[in-house]
Structure 1
Amino acid sequence: MTVLNTAQALWARLVATHDPHTIDFVGTLIIQFIFWWIPCILFVFLDSIAPSFSAKHKIQPAPKQPSANDILHSVLVCIRNQVIVFALHAALLYASSAKGRSPSIRVDASFPTVQEFTYHIAVSVLAREVLFYTSHRIFHWRPLYRRFHKTHHKFTAPVAFSSQYAHPVEHLMANVLPILLPPLLLGSHILTMWVFVAFQLIETSTVHSGYDFFAGAAKKHDRHHERFEVYYGGIGLLDYVFGTDEREGPRRDKKE
């Protein structure tokens, strides 16, 4: 039996022996822990784990780095935001279960086909870029910036935990929904959604890490925290289309 066949058999047994709502909730919680909490912790302690590697790749100089108290505060805010999201998730799943309905996401005993998986991931990446870019730019509108988004921009030199350091309204509207809506609207398999969510969690922790990884993506997002009016998107597609990258050379910083 191949590794894939073994994995499919284990997954089919899990689906057959557990409530799909429980699989949805617990699995998503595990994805959050593995692909966001662990990378964030590793990035924060990279100075101690690999000091020479850290010094080589750190973007901002030491005087601009947030204090230990700032980082601890960001952790507490992230926990608050995640508690809100998972409480809403649990409430929706409970309501669905009480009415005898399946979860909004598809929990099948079989794996998604390669064709479906590839198509849904590709569409989800593009849809998330549109939703995130749009919502991010809206939150930079001055009244909304001052009321909501200014919280996230407290970190002019981002650290990994600042990726979910945000006002709860912004966290739901600009961070969570742009990731969850595409697979939900596509009717994706839950495994497809988990892969997509895992990628997005790694991406956001990395680009906020303060280290220049992912082919300059972290440096670009660092520039956004420094200058405000550039690099609103995730993969850079709409920044290119709408000219909010830095192709035209240095621009005057926008003070919010």
Structure 2
Amino acid sequence: MFTLCIYTCLSISLCFSLSHKDLNFLLKTHFGFSVFCLSLPSITLMASIIESGWLYLITHFSDFQLASMGSFLLHESVFFLSGLPFIYLERAGLLSKYKIQTKNNTPTAQEKCITRLLLYHFSVNLPLMIVSYPVFRCMGMRSSLPLPSWKVVLTQIIFYFILEDFVFYWGHRVLHTKWLYKHVHSVHHEYATPFGLTSEYAHPAEILFLGFATIVGPAITGPHLITLWLWMVLRVLETVEAHCGYHFPWSLSNFLPLYGGADFHDYHHRLLYTKSGNYSSTFVYMDWIFGTDKGCRKLKALKHNGVGVEDDSKQT
């Protein structure tokens, strides 16, 4: 799902605008010319649809409504639509051969997660989006036409991923210190066998603390609102996928170097905090640099060599 979304989102961002320089670049090579000719009708149509849809939004809703309520509704839609199917997969036992852990969560535990999520989303996330609106406006965020070029969108999204990985890694490591883990981060680790929706199951203090890693990039660059929405969608899908509990043949970690994915983060949830590692968010280079993925790499090596490994996970 996340792999397909990456391709789709990049295609959409390409449709935002194609300048004359962009066209000249595409036409320089035979391959570029062929790709451009084949994709021109769909690119033109998609660009027209996106711009028309955006014009409707900014005509009928204020910047504040779009940036606060619009962002909240988009987040909730993407989060629950991408996360709920994994509850069904676990209960029905479908695709079980791709499940990382053999243990399943009880329906009661799953329902508890959903109830808490709704409470925290409306009592923490929504007010945060409302309060942060003036900050983003002061930093240059806009929603007006024209839409940003695909180069601007892509550059900003890459910057957001890099910065978010750095900030999240250190924030996550801090949360695994003894006192903060016991009083804050242990809430998120109640689910040793994670499923998609547990990605945002956390103490309100952690939501604010680690949420900073997601919004600091956009706060610095002051992006177009559509770029902010694209970033939010990618970020939600990534964290749901990382907590889904399944490693599929089409998982992005099989194709994209340094991408963590579900297999990488599931290891983090299985272990007690004193033995934990794998603190990274999307890409794993921070764990590699600071050696906090050694346990995971050792476990993979043992499994690859056919050595039995004791599972010291805990279950809610």
Percent identity over the alignment is 22
**1:60 aligns to what SS in structure 2?**
coil
Where relative contact order (Cα < 8 A, 6+ residues apart) is larger, the structure is: 1
d(CA) in 2 for partners of 1:186, 1:43: 35
d(CA) in 2 for partners of 1:48, 1:134: 35
d(CA) in 1 for partners of 2:240, 2:152: 27
d(CA) in 1 for partners of 2:72, 2:108: 26
> What letter matches 2:128 in structure 1?
L
The reply on whether 1:225 has 2:269 as its aligned counterpart is yes
The reply on whether 1:18 has 2:61 as its aligned counterpart is yes
* 1:254 CA drift (Å): 9.8
**1:230 aligns to what SS in structure 2?**
coil
The reply on whether 1:121 has 2:157 as its aligned counterpart is yes
The reply on whether 1:137 has 2:173 as its aligned counterpart is yes
Match of 1:170 in 2: 206
| 1:89 corresponds to which of 124, 129, 147 | 129
* 1:103 CA drift (Å): 7.0
Match of 1:187 in 2: 222
Q: Please say if residues 197 and 243 of structure 2, whose CA atoms lie closer than 8 Å, have aligned partners that are also in contact.
A: yes
> What letter matches 1:120 in structure 2?
Q
TM-score by length of 1: 0.86
d(CA) in 2 for partners of 1:103, 1:19: 16
TM-score by length of 2: 0.71
Report Cα offsets for 1:14-63 as digits up to 9, x if no partner: 223321101112321232123211111111112467x44x21211111xx
> What letter matches 2:73 in structure 1?
I
Task: Tell me the matched-pair count.
Answer: 245
> What letter matches 1:232 in structure 2?
Y
> What letter matches 2:265 in structure 1?
H
The reply on whether 1:153 has 2:189 as its aligned counterpart is yes
* 1:119 CA drift (Å): 0.9
* 1:9 CA drift (Å): 3.0
> Structure 1 residues 69 and 48 mapped into 2: Cα distance closer, same or farther (>3 Å)?
closer
* 1:178 CA drift (Å): 1.1
d(CA) in 1 for partners of 2:203, 2:63: 31
Provide structure 1 residue ranges, at least 5 long, that are not aligned to the other structure. Answer: none
Cα RMSD, aligned residues only: 2.6
> Structure 1 residues 33 and 248 mapped into 2: Cα distance closer, same or farther (>3 Å)?
closer
Q: Please say if residues 187 and 201 of structure 2, whose CA atoms lie closer than 8 Å, have aligned partners that are also in contact.
A: yes
d(CA) in 1 for partners of 2:61, 2:137: 13
1:49-64 map, 5 Å: 51-52=93-94, 54-61=95-102, 64=103
> Structure 1 residues 185 and 154 mapped into 2: Cα distance closer, same or farther (>3 Å)?
same
Match of 1:249 in 2: 298
Provide structure 2 residue ranges, at least 5 long, that are not aligned to the other structure. Answer: 1-43, 255-260, 303-309
> What letter matches 2:280 in structure 1?
G
> What letter matches 1:180 in structure 2?
I
The reply on whether 1:28 has 2:75 as its aligned counterpart is no
d(CA) in 2 for partners of 1:195, 1:248: 32
| 2:85 corresponds to which of 32, 42, 52 | 42
**2:293 aligns to what SS in structure 1?**
coil
- Of 246-255 and 112-121, the range deviating more from structure 2: 246-255
